[in-house]
Amino acid sequence: MSKLAILHYLPLEYYPPVTNLIDYIANERSEDFKRVKVFSCKNVKGRIDFKVDKRFVGQEVEGKRVQGARYEVEEGKEYEVECDIKSEVRSQKSRKVKCKTHGGNNLSAKNYQLLTIFRSSFPKETDNNLTRLFKYLHFNLITIVSLITYRPTDLLYFESYSAWPAYIYTRYFNRNCRLFIHNHEYASKQWYTTTMRQVKYFHSLEKKWLYPQAIWISQTNEDRLKFFHQDHPNLKQEQLKIMPNYPPRSWKVNLEDNGLGEGRKTSTSQQHISPNTDKLKPLKLVYVGSLSFQTTYLKELCEWVLNHNGKVQFDIYAYNLYEDVKTYLNELGSSFINYFEQGIEYNDQPKVLSQYDVGLILYKAHNPNYTYNAPNKLFEYLACDLDVWYPHVLKGPQPYNTANTYPKVIPVYFEQLNQFDWKTATDRSRCKHQPSKYFCEEVYSELIDEIVK
């Protein structure tokens, strides 16, 4: 069984794909692992700390690790065991408890956490250079020491930010450790020339040692993987994988449990007459994510919404944005554009998003990473049965364009919104409903199968 270490320097809460992976391991693949330890940093943007959805306590009885309340004590013989305590997954201490079989036999069981998350302090924008350096070193040195004592058999790290502990451990302390690498973003050669010095150094270690040693190196889509391979042509094709950023299947379940999925299926036109009034309901647009004037079509969209004088409502959920953008949104003074600066916690998004008609992607094609990005939000909006509008200059969402089905995926000329026929775009009357099929469990199963084989 695998002893897995996951290294993700940037705070987990900012990256739903990694928290979805951790949940998947804990909830669906825990029996494949002896232990899992996650090393990351504390978030500094006020997000609720990520916790694994399901409380799971691994247990040992008479020296054998077992799962849940069923213990194999003798070969071919099962016992139902009742334990008199429960431990949370984040408990740091192991405790001895007395367990009793239904047959009255007493067994000694040792409770321990299968999955543990360790967090270091993350640098803040207000920190001075010395404090920032200390925090960088703290994560890396603590993680290196922990890896040496934990001795994982398999190691997964995310992006160059997390590479140094992986390099030290796999090169100098355990060359038999199997190495896996995933990239949330495509980092071009040009990007590395402008990033922080320590990340440049970490990337040099990747090229020198980590990439050649890796069993698995993944990007989020085929285009990004192609660019990555062009940057590193000596890598073998069998090392290179695609692992898209999909939401969990529970998003679809949550909608159905709340009666929201079926309600969206019966909608034939996004703008309709309210049963209690003679007024048309506005088309409800939503955007979730980071914002800047340089990299998104925010101003163009806001101006278009204001020009429709109440026929369109635009809600923005963003906790990660520049001060000039925050000032702009707060000074608009329009009831048709609402800005929620706390954003939405990830697990609350299905219920919130399902109240809207169209989910927006606003990124400009200002570099290859964005141009060829099929962002998380594309699949999250689709999981909630929202139509999706995205800038026509983006190549990543194009394979998901729809013709006669909904939810629709539609490229939009954001530079020419005054010419956009949004009423036709939102008409579903001649379209067949096709629920989203993009969920992360199928994607992550391939990775975990490779780790535990």
Same domain, 224 and 256: no
Give the chain's mean pLDDT: 85
Same domain, 108 and 119: no
Identify the three-state secondary structure at position 35: strand
- Look at residue 192 in the predicted model and tell me its pLDDT: 97
Do the Cβ atoms of 7 and 162 come closer than 8 Å? yes
Same domain, 294 and 385: yes
Same domain, 40 and 183: yes
What angle do helix axes 376-383 and 250-257 make, rounded to 10 degrees?
A: 30
- Look at residue 432 in the predicted model and tell me its pLDDT: 95
> How many domains, in total, are found in the chain?
3
CA pair distance 381, 288, nearest whole angstrom: 10
pTM, whole model, 2 decimals? 0.84
Per-residue pLDDT band at 87 (split at 50, 70, 90): very low
Give the mean model confidence (pLDDT) for residues 339-352. 94
Do the Cβ atoms of 353 and 359 come closer than 8 Å? yes
**pLDDT above 70 for 270:** no
Do the Cβ atoms of 395 and 371 come closer than 8 Å? yes
Per-residue pLDDT band at 280 (split at 50, 70, 90): confident
**pLDDT above 90 for 267:** no
Identify the three-state secondary structure at position 24: helix
Task: Assess if residue 285 is contained within a domain.
Answer: yes
- Look at residue 83 in the predicted model and tell me its pLDDT: 42
Task: Assess if residue 145 is contained within a domain.
Answer: yes
203/82: higher pLDDT: 203
Tell me the pLDDT tens digit for each residue of 144-201.
999 999 999 999 999 999 999 999 999 999 999 999 999 999 999 999 999 999 999 9
Residue 305 sits in a domain whose CATH number is 3.40.50.2000
Same domain, 221 and 308: no
Task: Assess if residue 438 is contained within a domain.
Answer: no
Handedness of CA 437, 438, 441, 444 (dihedral sign): positive
The amino acid occupying position 133 is L
Same domain, 128 and 84: no
Do the Cβ atoms of 313 and 336 come closer than 8 Å? yes
**Could you tell me what percent of the chain has a pLDDT over 70?**
81
**pLDDT above 80 for 58:** no
Handedness of CA 157, 160, 164, 169 (dihedral sign): positive
The DSSP string of 303-331 is HHHHHTTTSEEEEEE-SSB-HHHHHHHHH
Choosing from 113, 128, 152, the residue where a domain stops is 113
Task: Assess if residue 86 is contained within a domain.
Answer: yes
Same domain, 270 and 366: yes
Same domain, 166 and 293: no
Give the mean model confidence (pLDDT) for residues 109-127. 81
CA pair distance 86, 81, nearest whole angstrom: 13
**pLDDT above 70 for 365:** yes
- Look at residue 150 in the predicted model and tell me its pLDDT: 97
Task: Assess if residue 75 is contained within a domain.
Answer: yes
- Look at residue 125 in the predicted model and tell me its pLDDT: 87
DSSP state of 336: T
Same domain, 241 and 315: no
Same domain, 293 and 357: yes
Task: Assess if residue 331 is contained within a domain.
Answer: yes
Q: Lowest mean pLDDT of 21-35, 81-95, 109-123, 398-412, name the range.
A: 81-95
Task: Assess if residue 68 is contained within a domain.
Answer: yes
User: What are φ and ψ of residue 189, in 5° steps?
Assistant: -60, -40
**Could you tell me what percent of the chain has a pLDDT over 90?**
77
Same domain, 158 and 235: yes
Same domain, 11 and 134: yes
Task: Assess if residue 168 is contained within a domain.
Answer: yes
Pairing of strands 95-101, 77-83: antiparallel
Does residue 34 come out as left (phi exceeding 0), alpha (psi in the -120 to 50 range) or beta?
alpha
Tally Cβ neighbours within 10 Å of residue 287. 23
Domain span at residue 289 reads 250-433
Tally Cβ neighbours within 10 Å of residue 128. 8
